[in-house]
Structure 1
Amino acid sequence: MNNLRTVSDTKRNFYNQHTRPINTIYRRVVEELMVEMHLLSVNADFRYDPIYALGVVTAFERFMQGYQPERDKEPIFEALCQSIEDNPQRYRQDADRLRQLLQNVSAQQLFDWIDGKASLQGAEDLQAQMQAIAQNSKFKYSRLFAIGVFTLLELADAELVKDEKQRVEALKQVATALHVPEDKLNKDLELYRSNLDKIEQALITMADILSADRRKRQQRLQEKEAGVATSNGDSGSASGSSQDKTPSGS
């Protein structure tokens, strides 16, 4: 009997965990991420690793930027991980550990560490996992792993990833060291960066629409208040006129 989880099972798990509605512009982001994580989790060759965790956390944070209400973001992330029967704290802790580790590390030090030529204090276990990835002929590459790699480079040298020539060379070094497909790495990251730009533009557009809507509502309110004031003024004048017409002696 095949008890392999289906995409429908995962979606049902998610919406059982997170019962609040998700803003329309972000629902597609959440569901696409959910499906991607699901397909990896049921793949026989897939093995969780910290770079993948960093990719998941980074993708979620970047694509959910500006989500309102802000307090719902973490419950959504938790439900996302729990929907594939995984622990959200593991993702957060591994991503945070890599971020802390690379705070004072140069791009060259990062390359040497990934390649096994140099070590970083307190990160021997992480380096062993890097070597395991490089030596695994069945390693299941994914777009989320690519985002994790890109984030490593960003953390080590934010300016490097902005320069196309340097970025391509850096990705080539990482792909060679980890034995992952360079062409897929570049293609997935181009799409990732393009989608980030689209999300940012959508947020700007949405902010402009909301701002224009607020201005219109404020203008209508001011016009309404001005109308009420005018109406009250007219009533006062009419009342005064009636009093003037009242005979002074009766």
Structure 2
Amino acid sequence: MDKLRTVSDTKRNFYQYHNRPINSIYRRVVEELMVEMHLLSVNVDFRSDPIYYLGVCQSFTQFMNGYTPESDKDSIFRALCQSIDNNPDEYRGKAETMLNFASQKSPQELINWLLSPTDDNGLQDVANHWRYALENPKFKYSRLFAIGLYSFLAKSDAEIVKNEEKFAELITPLTDKLSLPIDKFKKDLELYRSNIEKMTQMLTVLADTLEASKKKRQNN
């Protein structure tokens, strides 16, 4: 019987793939995402799916915004996926396919597709992957899935995800089908939006501080 991979194993794997220091402001972001992906990867009920992949990619993009050096971001993302023996190109490829598809459809059409995925528009690989998760009687909810679903629908209509009542009504058929924990789903999205706002504010303050420091050096 294979030994179950531990968090320490995953962290060790990560730093083998990405061996450069991580900017201290972002280290917590990277490690929290790493641990979350690890815990799901070792959960017997969890099956990855394109919505989850999109959630991982969007979380990384949002919370690594402003990271320097910029060139390290790709290495960090790839190491996150490789640390749990996943393929980063598959994550990005399927996430991009989902966003491209979402940009061409209405939110209702997207929900209809999620409930009954078809292979149209070159979606065969993504549809098969989503169908595999959809048919799992023990579908495992995750915060990253919630972020992925939110991002998927926001790509179609940025306003509908801001309207709590309309958004809840729109996704009800899917949340019912998957038996998602609605209260946790709402809290996870509220925290996600709040953290994005905090990160944006922090980057603004940091940029202002660096600019002031630069001017001070120039004046001395």
TM-score (norm 1): 0.81
**1:128, CA displacement in angstroms?**
4.8
The question of whether the paired residues in 1 share the 8 Å contact of 2:94 and 2:126 is answered with no
Q: Which residue of 2 aligns with 1:226?
A: none
Which whole-Å deviations, capped at 9, do the CAs of 1:137-172 have from their partners, x for residues lacking one? 211111111111111111111121122332232333
Residue 195 (str. 1) matches residue 195 (str. 2):
yes
Q: Which amino acid aligns with 2:114?
A: I
What is the RMSD computed on CA atoms of the aligned residues? 1.9
Q: Which residue of 2 aligns with 1:22?
A: 22
Structure 2 gaps, min length 5: none
The question of whether the paired residues in 1 share the 8 Å contact of 2:55 and 2:144 is answered with yes
Q: Which residue of 2 aligns with 1:112?
A: 112
How far, CA to CA, are the matches of 1:132 and 1:18 in structure 2?
Answer: 31
* Pairs within 5 Å for 1:34-183: 34-116=34-116, 120-124=120-124, 126-183=126-183
Partner SS, residue 68 of structure 1: coil
How far, CA to CA, are the matches of 2:33 and 2:117 in structure 1?
Answer: 34
The question of whether the paired residues in 1 share the 8 Å contact of 2:114 and 2:174 is answered with yes
Q: Which residue of 1 aligns with 2:215?
A: 215
How far, CA to CA, are the matches of 1:88 and 1:125 in structure 2?
Answer: 16
**1:196, CA displacement in angstroms?**
0.8
**1:130, CA displacement in angstroms?**
4.1
How far, CA to CA, are the matches of 1:196 and 1:51 in structure 2?
Answer: 19
How far, CA to CA, are the matches of 1:174 and 1:215 in structure 2?
Answer: 53
How far, CA to CA, are the matches of 2:39 and 2:213 in structure 1?
Answer: 41
Which whole-Å deviations, capped at 9, do the CAs of 1:212-240 have from their partners, x for residues lacking one? 111111111xxxxxxxxxxxxxxxxxxxx
**1:181, CA displacement in angstroms?**
2.3
The question of whether the paired residues in 2 share the 8 Å contact of 1:171 and 1:185 is answered with no
Which whole-Å deviations, capped at 9, do the CAs of 1:25-45 have from their partners, x for residues lacking one? 100000000000011111111
The question of whether the paired residues in 2 share the 8 Å contact of 1:172 and 1:182 is answered with no
Aligned residues: 220
Percentage of identical aligned residues: 54
- Name the larger-Rg structure: 1
The question of whether the paired residues in 1 share the 8 Å contact of 2:117 and 2:131 is answered with no
**1:127, CA displacement in angstroms?**
4.0
Q: Which residue of 2 aligns with 1:33?
A: 33
How far, CA to CA, are the matches of 1:187 and 1:132 in structure 2?
Answer: 27
**1:176, CA displacement in angstroms?**
2.3
How far, CA to CA, are the matches of 1:59 and 1:181 in structure 2?
Answer: 20
Residue 7 (str. 1) matches residue 7 (str. 2):
yes
TM-score (norm 2): 0.92
Partner SS, residue 70 of structure 1: coil
How far, CA to CA, are the matches of 2:180 and 2:168 in structure 1?
Answer: 14
How far, CA to CA, are the matches of 1:24 and 1:123 in structure 2?
Answer: 39
The question of whether the paired residues in 2 share the 8 Å contact of 1:130 and 1:178 is answered with no
The question of whether the paired residues in 2 share the 8 Å contact of 1:40 and 1:46 is answered with yes
Q: Which amino acid aligns with 2:77?
A: F
Which whole-Å deviations, capped at 9, do the CAs of 1:31-60 have from their partners, x for residues lacking one? 000000011111111111111111101100
Q: Which amino acid aligns with 1:115?
A: L
- Point out the more displaced range, 112-121 or 13-22: 112-121
How far, CA to CA, are the matches of 2:10 and 2:127 in structure 1?
Answer: 32
Partner SS, residue 65 of structure 1: coil
Distance 1:117 1:20, change over 3 A: closer
**1:197, CA displacement in angstroms?**
0.9
How far, CA to CA, are the matches of 2:211 and 2:7 in structure 1?
Answer: 38
How far, CA to CA, are the matches of 2:212 and 2:70 in structure 1?
Answer: 22
Q: Which amino acid aligns with 2:155?
A: L
